[in-house]
Amino acid sequence: MAAFAAYTIIGLSLGGIFSLAALGIVLIYRTTGVLNFAHGAMGMFSTFIAWQVFYGWSHPFWPGWLSTLLAVIAGLVFAAAMGLFLEFAVFRWVRTREPVVKAVITIGVLLALQSAASLIWKNNQYHLPIYLAPQTATITISDVGVPVGRVGAVSWMLGSLVAAVAGILITPFINFDTTSLTLLIIDALAAALIGGLVSLPLTVLGGFILGLLETYPTIWIQSLGFPRLVALLVILAVLVVRNPRGFAVAAK
């Protein structure tokens, strides 16, 4: 029973992070019509910037909290700048194109970010110490969820920030490398789909449900890949339930 409670807590924390990542996706999708497949990669890159500041550039005599603070600020500032850059350099020019084209562009962003990160930080496993309590995740959600950006630039900046927060928050739980954080995208997309890519409250709820669903099976099944299967099944189930009428939704 104690184990069960522990898994519940892990699941909920994980779920909070999924929700947060998903919120960024929904935010950008609703305001700019871009489904951002690079969301995980953007969070990953910002997280690595934070890691770099924490381990690479901070002075060993600084107190832990100062390094952490600087690292988090650096990660967030970088995330905001990256969001703005993407809006002005890329997505501003494709505003009138079909949603699918924009989504494919984000795949280009994903590939570029992913390789740039693996170029800089190699394919090693990293770990950030626990200074950030996972509970903060839930608080941040309500803070970020309300002010939905009005302009593409703002929403890209916010979305990127949210991705960075999610990335930084998840790192105490896992040994992370460049790919595993990029792949957070699938869980975030699953949560976002539960909210229909529109509803923020449902997205948050979806994130938590997904977190629990992915955690409980690990009590019995020792498999690193199994949670991916859970995410896929959730996506399929949501799409079948949400789209019962066939064409009606798709009719252009």
Closer Cβ to another protein, 137 or 157, answer by number? 157
The answer to whether the beta carbons of residues 65 and 72 sit under 8 Å apart is: no
Which one of residues 7, 173, 216, 226 is an interface residue with another protein (CB under 8 A)? 226
Q: How far is the CB of 175 from another protein (least distance, A)?
A: 15
b/e per residue, 220-247, with b = 16+ CB within 10 A? eeeeeeebeebbeebbeebeeeeeeeee
Binding marks (x or -) toward another protein, 169..208, rule CB under 8 A?
A: ----------x---x-xx--xx--x----x----------
By rule CB under 8 A, what count of residues binds another protein?
63
Closer Cβ to another protein, 75 or 152, answer by number? 152
119 touches another protein (CB under 8 A): yes
How far apart CA 207 and CA 76 sit, in angstroms, is: 22
Where does 64-98 have alpha helices with state H? 64-89
The answer to whether the beta carbons of residues 164 and 112 sit under 8 Å apart is: no
250 touches another protein (CB under 8 A): yes
Closer Cβ to another protein, 8 or 199, answer by number? 199
Where does 122-215 have alpha helices with state H? 136-145, 152-170, 178-182, 184-194, 200-215
Closer Cβ to another protein, 183 or 212, answer by number? 183
Q: How far is the CB of 86 from another protein (least distance, A)?
A: 10
How far apart CA 35 and CA 146 sit, in angstroms, is: 20
Phi-psi region of 197 (alpha: psi -120 to 50; beta: other; left: phi over 0): left
Which of helix, strand or coil describes residue 176? Answer: strand
Contacting residues toward another protein, per CB under 8 A: 30-33, 35, 37, 90, 92-101, 103-105, 107-116, 118-119, 150-152, 179, 183, 185-186, 189-190, 193, 198, 223-226, 228-229, 231-232, 235-236, 239-240, 243, 245-248, 250-252
